[in-house]
Structure 1
């Protein structure tokens, strides 16, 4: 049955708004070309959207830069404001942005382990309020929250998870009550996958698995362009995956003995110690990521060996002891990365055998620190472990992927509501 005139208008409006979001400001002529609509239809939708306060003239285009045909239309960015939160066990980071996702303010607050639930929630909510005030925002329309743990697919709420602070589960309700905003909560790894697909390493993939390597370990599954959460919201809880080499098995309440024990941050730090890889603590990332970055830097120096036309042996004035120590450190760092790649490939191969995603993205702080050096090692091992062809890519967004994903979810939710056709 053909769509009614009102439904057709609503669909055309949403199409135009999505194009303006993706392509930036456009003229009426460009909208006509991209939508395939007639000139009168485009004129009508521009008038409707402008009257609704959703779009406005933001400039002019063309050589003459004058007249109606030169007007550039863009989404009214301050029609609604958004916030995104990255909730970790040790604190919260928040950004406040406009409807187009442009960041207006950003802040963080640490929350100590011993902080009670009430004070911890108050610290997080107050941070959002202060950041919004700093951005000059009076009211937030939508708040996206990324947090560790399982999201109940029926209620959209964070489920009780052993080992995670209790204040995590109370934060969404407190935000909704204090801010009178729509609050969307999503698992942090799932948000990272959405961000890497939209803006990062998986932009050209509609089917892939993201392997998160950070403080903890997890996976996100995107199949045919859709994020898959599973019957209980637990798709990607790869830390519980039973694997050889851990000396035990995970339990229903503890992933110790699972894949987490091989590739989690503590396991990586212990592996680095075993191979003599050391690095100073960095406040902005897990120490495991700093160690991996140090190992990569040691293996990526200038190639060894005599210069062309010279006999082998120590160069004039060179310190043979220092050269030997440097070569030894480089070899140890390479061995560390080899063993780490063995471990990562073990978990990735299990996922590939079940899902055949064709692409694995090594994300999170450790994945980004390892970069192409670690990705290449994992790729090589998977090529020998599975007959299923699989690309391995280094994540492009690192730890910032969670916050970026939370902002994308908030923006999409706000736009869906604001761009929705009016009810009859």
Structure 2
């Protein structure tokens, strides 16, 4: 059954808006070429979108060209303002952006473990309000929140967890009440996967797993282009995965003894210390010390993968040979540990691609990813590419911003439904 004229108009409008968002300002002629629509149809949709306040003329193409075909149309970026939050156990970071995702202001605040729930929520909400004011945003349309823990798939709320501060669960409601904005909460690792798929190393993958390596460990599963959360929102809680090489088994109330005990930041720092490696006195930005020591080890190796490690250690000058050997041994041992988790995921899901994300995955880069892939090749018959994440810890904020932007655009952009 052919679409009604009103439905066809809505489809064309949204297509044009998506193109303007993805490719920047375009002329009517370029919209005609990219959409395949006729010139009168494009002229009509441009007029409709201008009247709705969604697009405007932002310039012209060519110094000698004039007229409607030379005008460049772009989305009205300040039609809506968005916020994205990366909530950690010890504080949070917020960015405020426009409808195109351009960051206008950013700020962070530490929240100590001894801070009460009420004061902690007030600090967090006040930070968002101040950052929005700094960005010139009179009101926020949508707020994306990335937080550790399980998200209830039925309610979209952060589930109770004894390992997380109580203020985490109160934050979304307080934001919605104070800001009158739409607030969307998602697991931090899932948001990192969304960011890597939209704007990172997984842009060419419809199916992949992101292994988050930060202060803790987690995984996000994307199958056939869709994020999979599981029946209780617990897909990817790989820290609880029972693995060899630990002193015990995880429990329902704690992941000690699981994969977390091999690949969490504290475990990696301890592993480095066993090899005589300690983080520098001044760590790299706000990343975990484990990420700093991994980056230093890769630098000591010259960024070379495992197969060249031993040769480099032997041929290095005496003054640096000990450091190089220690770095090689540490990275090999870390790759052994990570390969256990990656092989487990691969055996169950066969994703074809695993991204080592988070601050530690980014610090290890292609060198660590290559080491893990070498081991995976000997452990699994399933071909799996291991890639280093491109966005590091910033992936959570990027993913939260994508979530907020999608929500705003779904409301502001014409819906794919008949119009009255």
TM-score normalised according to structure 2 size = 0.95
Residue 274 (structure 1) aligns with: 274
Query: Quick check: 2:279–2:290 contact (8 Å CA) kept in 1?
Result: no
The answer on 1:367 being equivalent to 2:361 is yes
Residue 352 (structure 1) aligns with: 346
Structure 2 CA distance, aligned partners of 1:287 and 1:41? 57
The answer on 1:258 being equivalent to 2:258 is yes
Residue 299 (structure 1) aligns with: 301
What secondary structure sits across from 2:165 in the alignment? coil
Query: Quick check: 2:105–2:135 contact (8 Å CA) kept in 1?
Result: yes
| Greater C-alpha radius of gyration | 1
Structural mapping, 1:140-289, within 5 Å:
140-280=140-280, 281-282=282-283, 283-289=285-291
Residue 52 (structure 2) aligns with: 52
Query: Quick check: 1:277–1:294 contact (8 Å CA) kept in 2?
Result: no
Structure 2 CA distance, aligned partners of 1:271 and 1:106? 35
What secondary structure sits across from 1:362 in the alignment? strand
328 and 182 in structure 1: CA distance in 2 versus 1, 3 angstrom threshold = same
What secondary structure sits across from 1:334 in the alignment? helix
Structure 2 CA distance, aligned partners of 1:101 and 1:332? 43
Structure 2 CA distance, aligned partners of 1:385 and 1:35? 47
List per-residue Cα deviations over 1:143-165 (Å, max 9, x = no partner): 00000001111111111112110
Structural mapping, 1:55-66, within 5 Å:
55-62=55-62, 64-66=64-66
Residue 310 (structure 1) aligns with: none
What secondary structure sits across from 1:361 in the alignment? strand
What secondary structure sits across from 1:367 in the alignment? helix
Structure 1 CA distance, aligned partners of 2:32 and 2:414? 21
Residue 13 (structure 2) aligns with: 13
What secondary structure sits across from 1:161 in the alignment? coil
Residue 126 (structure 1) aligns with: 126
Structure 2 CA distance, aligned partners of 1:29 and 1:373? 46
Residue 292 (structure 2) aligns with: 290
The answer on 1:341 being equivalent to 2:335 is yes
Structure 2 CA distance, aligned partners of 1:35 and 1:152? 39
What secondary structure sits across from 2:139 in the alignment? coil
Aligned residue among 376, 391, 399 for 1:382: 376
Structure 2 CA distance, aligned partners of 1:361 and 1:188? 15
List per-residue Cα deviations over 1:338-395 (Å, max 9, x = no partner): 0100110100001001111110100000000000110000010001110111111100
RMSD between aligned residues = 1.9
Structure 2 CA distance, aligned partners of 1:267 and 1:411? 36
Residue 2 (structure 1) aligns with: 2
Query: Quick check: 2:303–2:367 contact (8 Å CA) kept in 1?
Result: no
Q: Aligned pair count?
A: 411
Query: Quick check: 1:95–1:107 contact (8 Å CA) kept in 2?
Result: yes
1:63 Cα deviation after fit? 5.3
Structure 1 CA distance, aligned partners of 2:276 and 2:300? 12
Structure 2: gaps of 5 or more residues: none
1:423 Cα deviation after fit? 5.7
Structure 2 CA distance, aligned partners of 1:174 and 1:413? 19
Query: Quick check: 1:214–1:366 contact (8 Å CA) kept in 2?
Result: yes
Residue 397 (structure 1) aligns with: 391
Query: Quick check: 1:210–1:220 contact (8 Å CA) kept in 2?
Result: yes
Residue 106 (structure 2) aligns with: 106
1:32 Cα deviation after fit? 0.8
304 and 6 in structure 1: CA distance in 2 versus 1, 3 angstrom threshold = closer
1:279 Cα deviation after fit? 2.2
Structure 1 CA distance, aligned partners of 2:60 and 2:419? 34
Residue 414 (structure 1) aligns with: 408
Structure 2 CA distance, aligned partners of 1:172 and 1:65? 51
1:64 Cα deviation after fit? 2.4
Residue 309 (structure 1) aligns with: none
